[in-house]
Amino acid sequence: MEGTSDISDLEPGADQGKAGPNVHMLLKIVILGVIGFVSVVGNGIALGTLIVYNKQLRVTIYIVIGGLALADIVVAVMNVPDQIIFQADKGELKSETWCKFYGLLYNSCKYIAAFHLVVLGVLRGILLTDRAHHGPTAIHALITCAILWLASLLANIPMISSSIHDSYTNRCVVAFGEKKDPVSLQSRDTVAEERYTILSAAFSYFLPLVLIIIIYLFTGYMSKRFFEDSYSLRERRMSKMISSLIVTFALCRLPSETVSLLWFYQVKNTDMMQALSNDTDKFKVWIHVREYLQILSMFDMAIRPIIYATMSREFGLVYDKVINCTYCKEEEEELPPRLRRRGDEIEEVLHTPLRQNPENQECPDNEPEEIF
């Protein structure tokens, strides 16, 4: 969702670079298409895995990953087509109703995804420091995810009234002011814009990242002092997977969030805007840099399914079956190897003949073949 701070980068001068199809437009559309496809399909497989194997994968970390995958799917479905439509200059496909729906869901899922990573950081700390294994259960994880979704959706209800379709830029934007005119500087509430920009960046990136860093510092101190030599292979694998998710989130989002804040405060200086308007080449460079960084900020949604598949045996098994088109085979082949071996052992016990009673073994009238 583009805020009012993003409107100025699309004022007259920016459209001059969109006069016709060009390399930047085609490259952005291709990258966005790949990100959207991988995000929806990859996270859909991860979410489907948890639904199909709901009994075998009843693990708190996997349940939180399911909530994160659902948030990524919603963001990809809402944001990627919007970005592609904008790059292709087909703004008439959007309406006022769509923009309000878009403003609620897209803004909510940004915060939901970020705080799901915070929850994963907490679960990682419990996994590495709770030797008694009396941590949260699957029900606790479900309740936590539900609270995050509900709280974020309720907190973003005011965004419905502020989300409008801007006919000047053909985009869904967040506008403040009595006239809700994102282009006219005289009608814009700059105080409300600044508050929204800061709070949006804080709750979707900086605050979750600070909380994760604090959790990691505490977990690192406790684990090195008391538990460093007691980790199993599974615990180490889970820890690496969560750490990879968090590092990917931090690296992909940092450039975009930093440049967005820098751009907002520079835009407040009208002299700078006048200078950029006079130097159209510099203005175009700023536009391309911002748009590429916004695409980079969505790249973590496509990387996360790859992390699930490579760092989790359970997820990796299902991803392999889908990629190799063997997912629809017999039910026993769909189970993870450990569960399949356990099922074979149970079947072997059930079908093994019971030994004869000792009384029958002592009877000389019994035939040898009946004894054996």
pTM of this prediction exceeds 0.85? no
Six-digit token string for 79: 């944001």
pLDDT for 276 equals: 64
Least confident interval from 122-126, 191-195, 249-253: 191-195
Does the pLDDT at position 364 exceed 80?
Answer: no
Least confident interval from 41-45, 49-53, 75-79: 49-53
The CA distances from residue 23 to 14, 191, 225, 279, 342, in Å, are: 16, 38, 54, 21, 56
The CA distances from residue 175 to 178, 282, 283, in Å, are: 10, 26, 23
In this structure, is the dihedral angle defined by the CA atoms of residues 209, 255, 7 and 98, taken in order, positive or negative? negative
Q: Give residue 13's region: left, alpha or beta (phi > 0; psi -120 to 50).
A: left
Q: What is the pLDDT of residues 284-333, one digit of tens each?
A: 788 888 889 999 999 999 999 999 988 888 787 777 776 776 655 544 44
Find residue 171's DSSP bridge partners.
Answer: 166
Pairing status of strand 171-174 against strand 163-166: antiparallel
Average pLDDT, the chain: 77
Three-state secondary structure call for residue 9: helix
The CA distances from residue 50 to 46, 119, 122, 123, 147, in Å, are: 7, 18, 21, 18, 19
* CB within 8 Å of 255: residues ≥ 6 apart: 293, 296, 297
Any idea which residue has 């002299």 for tokens?
Answer: 271
Domains and CATH numbers, the chain: 4-335 (1.20.1070.10)
Helix (H) / strand (E) containing 76: helix 60-87
